[in-house]
């Protein structure tokens, strides 16, 4: 059955901390689906979504949900029960990629280089600077919630005195926090589609790191392709594809890397539902590979049909 004969559910919004970003991604995808002449229904995800999908009798789902349900495998599981093909990675791969602790363990198991880190678990644990000394860590560091995206709850800590405050902020988004050593280098993002590395972009934020503001409010330079030598670029694409495969991902992903001054490459994370807003990176990377936005959306849908999730 071709795309024109299918009714597509575009899932966006939801209840996560990334709701507003998801709505922007969804609006952009909705315009592309209109331009492609495809039948679709836009659904703001809530607790009645299962019933809505059955009532609308959809044949295919395009997931534009960021964080929460969309990226942790929950929506994917529901769609599999309903026997509805969907874009992106399956239940397990989505859950692994969303969980920074779990994905780091998987990367280590596949000999993929990552920044040194340790995990803080909430509860009655006393959180102070002695934790850093006990672990042999010192600023600068990144403090991150274990299960959020779009840099939500992330703090760049340059002084020990800010450590406890940063951990407390990250704990607002879950019971586990990643403390990650800062690796100075170029921020390079590689796009993956259909089991191949499309290319990459180097991100130069005006702020100290590529935070929520830099991602969605402007002031960031995007260098296409990245300003790294050809052999390092090829290596970065291979490592990104390896990280994608290590988690068992499929469809479109974006792999975030750091390339240091020795051209060593560190994997930060794999995003199984990359942003599709006007400033998002995957569309920029896809453009470099010859896909306009409509072409990218169409390819993601075709991959959903042919990718073994049907």
Catalytic status, residue 18: yes
Catalytic status, residue 271: yes
Spot the catalytic one: 150, 151, 250, 280. 150
CB 19, CB 13: distance < 8 Å:
yes
How far apart CA 222 and CA 142 sit, in angstroms, is 22
Neighbours of 151 (CB within 10 A): 20
Spot the catalytic one: 59, 90, 211, 256. 256
Spot the catalytic one: 13, 18, 30, 266. 18
Spot the catalytic one: 86, 173, 210, 216. 216
3-state secondary structure of 177: strand
Spot the catalytic one: 13, 149, 199, 275. 275
Catalytic status, residue 216: yes
Spot the catalytic one: 202, 269, 299, 303. 269
Burial of 1 by CB count in 10 Å (0-12 exposed, 13-18 middle, 19+ buried)? exposed
Catalytic status, residue 31: no
Q: What are the distances in angstroms from CA 102 to CA 98, 118, 119, 182, 265?
A: 8, 12, 11, 19, 20
CB 15, CB 72: distance < 8 Å:
no
Catalytic status, residue 90: no
Catalytic status, residue 222: no
Spot the catalytic one: 88, 181, 254, 303. 254
How far apart CA 277 and CA 184 sit, in angstroms, is 28
Which are the contacts of 48, defined by CB distance < 8 A and separation ≥ 6?
none
Cis peptide upstream of residue 225 (ω within 30 degrees of 0)? yes
Spot the catalytic one: 93, 103, 271, 280. 271
Active site residues: 18, 150, 216, 254, 256, 269, 271, 275
């Amino acid at each position: 059955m071709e795309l024109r004969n299918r009714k597509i559910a575009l899932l966006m919004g939801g209840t996560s901390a990334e709701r507003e970003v998801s709505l922007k991604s969804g609006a952009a995808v909705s315009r592309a689906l209109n331009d492609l002449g495809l039948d679709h229904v836009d659904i703001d995800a809530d607790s009645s979504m299962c019933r809505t999908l059955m009532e609308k009798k959809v044949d295919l789902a395009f997931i534009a949900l960021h964080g929460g349900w969309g990226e942790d495998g929950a929506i994917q599981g529901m769609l599999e029960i309903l026997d509805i093909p969907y874009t992106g990675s399956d239940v397990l791969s989505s859950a692994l990629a969303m969980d920074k602790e779990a994905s780091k363990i998987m990367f280590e198991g596949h000999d993929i280089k990552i920044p040194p880190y340790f995990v803080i678990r909430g509860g009655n644990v006393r959180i102070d600077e002695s934790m850093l000394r006990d672990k042999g860590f010192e600023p600068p560091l990144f403090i991150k919630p274990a299960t959020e995206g779009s840099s939500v709850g992330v703090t760049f800590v340059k002084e020990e005195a800010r450590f406890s405050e940063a951990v407390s902020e990250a704990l607002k988004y879950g019971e586990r926090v990643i403390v990650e050593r800062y690796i100075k280098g170029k921020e390079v993002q590689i796009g993956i589609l259909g089991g191949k590395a499309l290319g990459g972009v180097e991100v130069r934020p005006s702020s100290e790191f590529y935070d929520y503001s830099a991602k969605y409010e402007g002031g960031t330079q995007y260098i296409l392709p990245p300003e790294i030598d050809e052999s390092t670029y090829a290596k970065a694409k291979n490592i990104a594809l390896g990280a994608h495969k290590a988690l068992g991902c499929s469809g479109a992903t974006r792999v975030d890397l750091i390339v240091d001054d020795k051209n060593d490459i560190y994997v930060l994370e794999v995003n199984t539902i990359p942003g599709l807003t006007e400033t998002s990176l995957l569309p920029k990377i896809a453009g470099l590979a010859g896909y306009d936005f409509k072409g990218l959306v169409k390819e993601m849908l075709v991959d959903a049909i042919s990718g073994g999730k049907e």
